[in-house]
Amino acid sequence: MDRLVVDVPDFPEPGIVFKDVTPLLADHDGLTAVVEALADAGRDAEGRTVVDKVVGMEARGFILAAPVALALGAGFVPVRKAGKLPRATHAVSYSLEYGEATLELHRDALSAGERVLLVDDVLATGGTVRATRELIERCGAEPAAVSVLLELGALGGRELAGDLPVHSLAVI
Ligand code: AMP
């Protein structure tokens, strides 16, 4: 995986090392392996799917969460940046490693009691995961676990996930 995730220094701002996963997405074997490994966070020890929905966070989370949902036999739900979803939403503001943002989720996207797997490419400060968790809870659904490709361990994002299990394919 190392070979297929490229460090881009000072993008999108000075001081940020951006983890570019597009070479991994372009590699069929790499993408297949990663989707399967991410999906494992939504399975029990016997390999049975234990989630109803997979939520992907805009934008790279969408790319990974949709095939993970298919692999699990679950539905895919997008969490989007403010103003993109066309119907009534819940909204939560949060801090990124770079900048501030608001995330939204359609109010009717999740039903009460549904179990939800959160999928994204990178866990950095954890603000995105925490905001997404809150959006899921506002729908009355249950966040079950977080599955990410890369965890930037030094930023401590896992702390913001609270008691939500975090599955990272690599911690760097
Ligand atoms: P955070 O909320 O700080 O955990 O940031 C996670 C979100 O920002 C994810 O959706 C990532 O796609 C993106 N992100 C944050 N830091 C990086 C980075 N160094 N490289 C690539 N994406 C990042």
- Total of domains in the chain: 1
- Whether omega for the bond prior to residue 59 falls within 30 degrees of 0, making it cis, is yes
Q: Domain of 77?
A: 2-171
Residue closest to 19 by CA, chosen among 120, 131, 165, 159 = 120
**Ligand 1 centre from 46 Cα, in Å?**
32
47-91, pLDDT tens digit by residue?
Answer: 999 999 999 999 999 999 999 999 999 999 999 999 999 999 999
pLDDT at position 100 is: 83
132-141 pLDDT, tens digit each: 999 999 999 9
Task: Report which protein residue has its CA nearest ligand 1's atom 16.
Answer: 124
Conformation bin of residue 113: beta by default, left when phi > 0, alpha when psi is -120 to 50: left
CATH of the domain at 151: 3.40.50.2020
Q: What is the identity of the amino acid at 21?
A: V
